[in-house]
Amino acid sequence: MNHKTMQAIVTGITGFLSSVLGILYVPVLLMVLCNIIDYITGLMAAPNRKDGINSYKSMRGICKKVTMWLLVVVGAIIDHLLKYAAATFGIALPFTFLIACIVAVWIICNELISILENMVDIGVSLPIFILPLVKHIRSQVDEMTETLTENREEKTFYEK
């Protein structure tokens, strides 16, 4: 296969995924990239940990990564349900994949934390600010979702 054919295939696939996922394309791409990097750095760090490399743990890790992708799909389904319900009442929502994007960002933050922990186990010195920064971003996502949930629970309580 020549260079131009490969380039056309990659362009076609990325164009298709971008058109299907829309705003969710970049977070999903980053999530999958982080999944791959986390898996690789986990394998590299394994000899420095007491457990070592184990085929059962490795397979469990792959299943966990695939389940993360499914969690984003669940978020997208929730987004579609919200959009459908709002449209039923004549309300146009200004977003397409809000829940799915929040889930993807949360997963990316968790993966980044895991990658950084793997790097420490490998023996890499990290800049002092990077791990607290990623943890702060994750906590901001947690706080935002907690606020949304609390507001919904308060409304539900008062509606009764």
pLDDT for 158 equals: 45
Residues 6+ apart with CB under 8 A from 102: 75, 141, 144, 145
3 state DSSP class of 129: coil
* pLDDT tens digits, one per residue of 29-78: 999 999 999 999 999 998 888 877 778 888 888 999 999 999 999 999 99
3 state DSSP class of 93: coil
Please check the confidence at residue 151 and state whether its pLDDT lies above 70.
no
How confident is the prediction for the chain on average, in pLDDT? 87
pTM of the predicted protein model? 0.79
* pLDDT tens digits, one per residue of 106-134: 999 999 999 999 999 999 998 999 988 98
pLDDT for 121 equals: 92
Find the range with the poorest average confidence among 55-64, 90-99, 140-149.
Answer: 140-149
The pair of three-digit structure tokens given for residue 85, joined into one six-digit string: 């319900």
d(CA 32, CA 17): 13
Q: Pick from 124, 132, 100, 81: which is nearest to 31 by CA?
A: 100
Given pLDDT bands bounded at 50, 70 and 90, which one contains residue 152?
low
Helix (H) or strand (E) holding 61: helix 55-88
Distances (CA, A) of 17 to 1, 20, 94, 110: 22, 5, 22, 24
Given pLDDT bands bounded at 50, 70 and 90, which one contains residue 160?
very low
Please check the confidence at residue 156 and state whether its pLDDT lies above 60.
no
pLDDT for 47 equals: 87
d(CA 33, CA 129): 22
